[in-house]
Amino acid sequence: MPVSAPPKVKRSKKAEQRAEMMEQILDAAEHLFSNHGLYGVTLKDVAQRVGVHHTLMNYYFTDKKKLFDTVFARRASVTSKRRMDALDAYEKASGGKPTVEGALRAFLDTDLELYGNGGEGWRNYGKLSAQAANMPDGAALMDEHFDAVVLKLVGLLKRALPECTEEDIFWGYHFVSGGLMLTLARSGRLDRLSGGLCQSDDFDAAKDRMASFMAGGFIELCQRRVEERKQAAKAPAKRAKKS
């Protein structure tokens, strides 16, 4: 699914220059935040990367956290919409009978394809998202931008696994999210552990495996829980017979 460019709006020369400078600032900040985190970057660092005097930054951003939030929001709307569209399309195609892997592929594959094929900016954003998901102030950002698409996925999983408890489905999503964030972080640890057999920035390899792996976990967990409930229901009858 190609990343569609926003429609062009005719601007004045001054507005065009301001918009261009804003994009340069956001690109520079995205690169720096993805590599050093919110607390390892200053507005002066961003200005130096853009190649402007740090006082000019105050015209655009006087607060580093506001800059971080703006960087995060810029691409969040794109990835969230793409996944929501993919989940809606899958729901329609499934005829009301979604499967676990089908729902996960719509959610995960769409995102991994974007980060794999979207260029350096999207790869930087992937690392940034992984950081935001694991920082104290990041939960609010994740809630604001991604709750709707996550709950859409959860709804499909509930339909695919009607006997699974809501608690187990949310735990399952928690593990899915952790795997996705670790993949987006591209830490290089996988490369070292595997002796180069696997590459942490190989999004195609991750896409080929992740949904299937996670689906197996969901199904196994839910089947085990169902069996446990059945055994628990039989226990009183067995005790009654013995007495």
- Dist CA 71 CA 57 (whole Å): 14
**Is the predicted pLDDT of residue 105 greater than 60, yes or no?**
yes
- Of 67, 69, 70, the residue nearest 57 (C-alpha): 67
Per DSSP, the residues of the chain read ---PPPPP----HHHHHHHHHHHHHHHHHHHHHHHH-GGG--HHHHHHHHTS-HHHHHHH-S-HHHHHHHHHHHHHHHHHHHHHHHHHHHHHHTTT---HHHHHHHHHHHHHHHHHHS-HHHHHHHHHHHHHTTSTTHHHHHHHHHHHHHHHHHHHHHHH-TTS-HHHHHHHHHHHHHHHHHHHHT-SHHHHHTTTSS-TT-HHHHHHHHHHHHHHHHHHHHHHHHHHHHHHHHHHHHHHHH-
Which domains can be identified in the chain, with CATH numbers?
A: 16-62 (1.10.10.60), 75-242 (1.10.357.10)
- Dist CA 113 CA 204 (whole Å): 7
Which is more confident, 230 or 7?
A: 230
What is the per-residue pLDDT for 240?
A: 60
Per-residue pLDDT reduced to its tens digit, 37-56? 999 999 999 999 999 988 88
Residues in the chain: 243
Angle 162-163-167 (CA atoms, 0-180°, nearest 5)?
95
Structure tokens at 238: 């067995």
> Letter for the amino acid at 177?
S
- Mean pLDDT, the chain, whole residue set: 91
What is the per-residue pLDDT for 233?
A: 83
When pLDDT is averaged across residues 116-128 and rounded to a whole number, the result is 94
User: Which residues, in sequence order, are CB contacts of 152 under 8 Å at separation 6+?
Assistant: 84, 87, 88
| pTM for the structure as a whole | 0.86
What is the per-residue pLDDT for 6?
A: 53
